[in-house]
Each structure stands twice: as C-alpha cells, then as structure tokens.
Structure 1
C-alpha cells in the first residue's frame, strides 16, 4: 500500500476542516443531534473506479474525534465497484457528521485522479512507457494528488521546483538559446540533480544532443511521427518524455513510438470526482 506519513497530510486536512467548520463549528449537528448519540456509518462507492484518499478521510475523522473507530474495507490503490463499502466509521454521530464533507471531498477527488490515471496506464499495456503527472495540481493539495496518481498506477514527475533542473521554453528564451541554457545548467547540476530540457522541434533536439549536459529530454507538443523520429535520434542516450496534448485516446500511439514517459497534466487538473457517499 502506497502511503506517506500522516503528519505530512494533516496540515491540509486541518485547513479543510477549519474552512468547513468556520468559527463556531457545526451548528446543524449541535442543534439536531442528541448528545451521546452513536452511529456506524459506511463510506460507499456509487460507481466503479480506483480508490484513493481513504488515508486522508481517516485523518479527517480522527482530527474531529480521536475516539472514532475506523475500519478499512478497501485500501488506497484498490479497484471498487458500485455498492462496495470502502470504510466504516463508528462512534459519536456528531463527530462523523462534522467530518463527513471534508472526508468525502478528499476521497472523491483523489479517487477520481486515481481512476483517470489507471485509464491512462491501461493504454500503455505491452510497452515499457510509464505515465507520469506534472506540477499542474490544485494549490495546497500537491502531495495528496500526486499520491493519488501513484494509487492509479502512474508515476510522479517533480514535486517542486527544487527537485530537478527542468529547462522549459521560457528559460531557453531568457537564457539566450538551448546551448546557453544547457551550458549554464552544467555549472549548477550535480550527480544528485538531474537536468531535463524541453524541445518543440527536431532541430532543437539536435541542438540539445550536440551540446550535451541533459539527462532527460521533454518532447513537447510533437506529432506522433516526430516523436518516433525523436526517439530514433536520441538512441537511448537520454530519457525521453512526451508531453503536451496527451489525451487518453492518444496514449497508445505515443507509447508505440518508444518514448520512456508520457506526462499529462490532465491526470490532476481534469479528473472527474468519483461518486462516493457516506451512509448511516
């Protein structure tokens, strides 16, 4: 099971709970639910998909009331069918109701990302190409959304700007060209810090190969025939990443070119929320 420590996820969950509970708490529950009332609730899937966000949902419930009894029926990364119970929560009804929306928002959103990622990954069958996400994530939710990509069978690109040197088109323009940008990157890179450069054309790729210094080349918005030619030109010297206009319907033909990675921002910025519900 792929997880990251709860303490890294807690701040975003606390923020979401503060946002939802406001300055005075859950007034509806306080007005309607008798003190001491206990219930058992089930977090159920209402459609098929790949589960993610259960770890975060559990954090939300426990932050509201640490006495709640939480039983996992599915694990993050597992497939679910309509009607499947993913988690059971037992204890004070008021606590369950107060945490419900935050728990569902995270679990539904992240399960949607995991599900879409799994659909992209399915298109790579029979090839060695891996599907990876980008930094096009919801502000403040990057760790959770990238975790959901892993649950869907994908891989993660950079978590942030400090992870690697990625020279994009605007860096190239500001630096004075591909050769100048790569020459400068060589002075700052180390054996622990990889260099990737973005190219839009085969001519730019040839220039990058001549200059050297890159570990990875990002082939941006290229046609499928150009991607195939780019892979031939690289000849295994660099890791190749195809990006831009990477719709799920196109993934299989891009994988057939032999690229090492297909990256898509859609995995995180365009995933549909999976329909989940909490039933008493």
Structure 2
C-alpha cells in the first residue's frame, strides 16, 4: 500500500532532483541562449522523476556517497528527457504534448529539438564523470552502466525495434525484448547507479537489484500500454491512444486489458520477491514497485 510516508519521501526526492537539475543545466543567459532555454524547458518542472527516485531508493541500501548519488540522479534523468524529446519528433512518434505542455519541436523547432537531445545526452556523462569521492573503478563502472543502457543494445536499440515493427504482431518474447531495451534498460541503470554509489554493496547485491529492476521495467511498460488505452490526455500529460492509432505492438494488443494488468501485478510481485536479500532499507524500492502499477500517468 502506498503510504503518506512514501508520498512525502517522493516529494522531497523530486524537489531535490529538481534543484540538482537546475544547477546542472546551462543558464539561459549563456550562449547559445535558445538551446539552453530549450534544454531547461523540457527538463525542469515536470515528470514523475521515477528514474532519479530509483537512484535515491537504491542508494538507501548502503553507505552511499552523496556526490555520486546526486550525479547519478541528474545523469539518468538527462538521458530519459533526451529520449523523450527525440521520441516525440515527427520522424519518430510525432507527438505534440509531453508532461502537459507542447513538445520541444513544437515549442521551438525540429533542429533545436535534435540539439537539445544531443546536448542532454552529453550533459549526463559530463555530470557523471565529474562526480567525486568514489574509486576510479567504481566511477567508470557507473559511466559504463549508463552508456550501455542508452545505446544500441539498450534504449536506442529498443526504440529502433519499436519503429521497425509498427503494424506487426510480436510475440510476448519479442515484445519483452523490445521493451526490456527501450524502457527497461534505463530503469535497470537507475537502480544500478544508486547501488554503485554505495561502495559497500557487492556484486551479489547488485545482481539481486538487477533482477528487481528487470521485472519493474517490464511492469512499467505494461502499465504504460494500459494507461494509453484507459487514461485521458489531461491525466497522462501526453496524447492518449497514440499507440493504438499508430498500430504499435503493445501488451494490451497482445493480451487484452485485464490480462495485461494481471501480468503487471505478477511482475511487480516478482520484483518485490527479488529484494528478499535486503532488510527494511529496501522498503522504498518495494513501495516504488507498488507505485508503478497504481500510477495514473
């Protein structure tokens, strides 16, 4: 059950993330002003900040290095926002609304949106590479985790598979491979980055957390597919019904609404079960898993 305690923690973590993002982003008074203004427009003041929340929650499992944890939260959100900016463009999903306001290419123009995505991606690695107080090996491992999650066998690759299969009926195995990369890879990276900011967490802990994050990432996408059918545009903050309109392969198309929701609940329970290695310090991760299936957007 999602408690007021979790809501308060989410609000504090979201506020802290907002402050860190505001500091990391270039000033609108610094040239090129329009590019910097657009970067701040798409990044600040919106979104669930789920990936930074997962960083903060995973970091509670050990003795985290604050600077590394902060850098990880900023970096993973910059990658996520860059992906949204490019995903919304006419050559991709062609959407005009994101987080309740006009998408970047609508508010500005397509060249600016391309450059915003490029700049946010590089900013992520700039921030992560300058975090201090971790061993060089640990820091390089964090950079490697985020790079792999963002690339051709991660988020970008999943997006490519998605675009190549519009109108195609994929099997559940194929669908899960696609979304395991497109959506799940960055969720897995967020959990791993939070854990890696704790020098005292070993590879056994990291493996258990990766199992958790893999199940969570799939559940997140299943619920996204459900909400695309059930929720309205105002609630979602983006255009509802886009996947069905574009005839994209989804869990709802494959299973139906009821079965898709049941499958998401099964995945969440599997994610929670993967945390048996940990004590009450994993409660935030458990609660965030439950949040994923009851969210409205």
TM > 0.5 fold call: no
TM-score interval w.r.t. the shorter chain? Answer: under 0.3
Higher helix share: 2
Larger radius of gyration between Structure 1 and Structure 2: 1
Task: Report the TM-score when normalising by structure 2.
Answer: 0.25
